[in-house]
Amino acid sequence: MTWIGTSKYLATGCADGTVNVWDSLLGNCVHTFHGHLDAVQAISVSTNTDFIVSVSVDYTACV
């Protein structure tokens, strides 16, 4: 899990290979990114908050 800059949004990496973006005030998922075939191990957000990078146990990285 990581905050997206200083916004109210956070990103989570999931065991199903997705990365979800959540509105922390409302508690709902606002976007789901697909691309990994296995669990997400780590996620990071770029300094300008334009990109989320995720890495998975399937040996891939997604931007």
Give every CB contact of residue 20 below 8 A, 6+ residues apart in sequence: 11, 12, 14, 29, 31, 32, 33
> What CA–CA distance (Å, rounded) separates 10 from 24?
7
| Mean pLDDT, range 21-50, rounded to an integer | 97
Residue-level pLDDT at 52 = 97
Q: Look over the chain and give the mean of its residue pLDDT values, rounded to a whole number.
A: 97
What local confidence, expressed as pLDDT, does residue 19 receive? 98
pLDDT of residue 21: 98
pLDDT (mean) for 46-63: 97
How far is 17 from 8, CA to CA, in rounded Å? 23
